[in-house]
Structure 1
Amino acid sequence: MSRLLLILCGGFALGAIVCAIQYVSIRTGRFRRNPYLGLPGYARESDQVWKQAHEAAAPWIGRAGVVAAIAATIAGVGIAIDAGLDGWDAITVASALIGAVAAGLYLFGANTAADEATKRMRRRR
């Protein structure tokens, strides 16, 4: 079994679970302002800015979670068929690249949507 595939599978699965929890919490209105989980930089803002930013980012967070789950599944299939023993094989590279897309969706897509949604609210201050 490849240690790298195991790390990729576990890491992306954890990321998918965190995205799912965040997405459901935002959609049900139960995602409270906190400095630990969520988009960085909005915890210092008001409750209204926090809510607006995360509601705008929720679709991107959901997409990132789905893509991370796909990356974890690919790594899991690689573990199941004993791939990755030679280091960087096709399954390992595919899982890592798809996981990088998931991270990009969260980091850039969600933050951009949140910034656009809260730009007017911040200008009023």
Structure 2
Amino acid sequence: MFDEYALTNPFHNNTYAGISPSRPELSQAGKTVVITGGSSGIGYGIAQGFVAASAARVIILGRRADVVAAAATRLASAPGYAGRVDGVPCDIADPPAVDAFWDRLRADGVVVDVLGL
């Protein structure tokens, strides 16, 4: 009979030492990161990881301006984080909105190092 845990043993519910974003070799210092869906759920968790890894700038995208702004505020207030977090309302299912987002980054001279979709 198939053992449902055979492929995932051990199962982790949280970051463990081997993948901790605080490890120096996993540092994202100096990097700019864009995370789509970064205001909640998995996207928010990914953004938290990049904040913990000291990314210089984390830009989270989401459809609802109020939710994105609140999430950006929470991320920016992480203890010891000295970077910048921007919450940008952007529906990635809307091509003109996506184009406008990238045009704005280009105009501001922002280079994105990591894109999390």
Provide the TM-score with structure 1 as the length reference: 0.24
More helix as a share of residues: 1
Provide the TM-score with structure 2 as the length reference: 0.25
Greater relative CO (CA pairs within 8 A, separation 6+): 1
More strand as a share of residues: 2
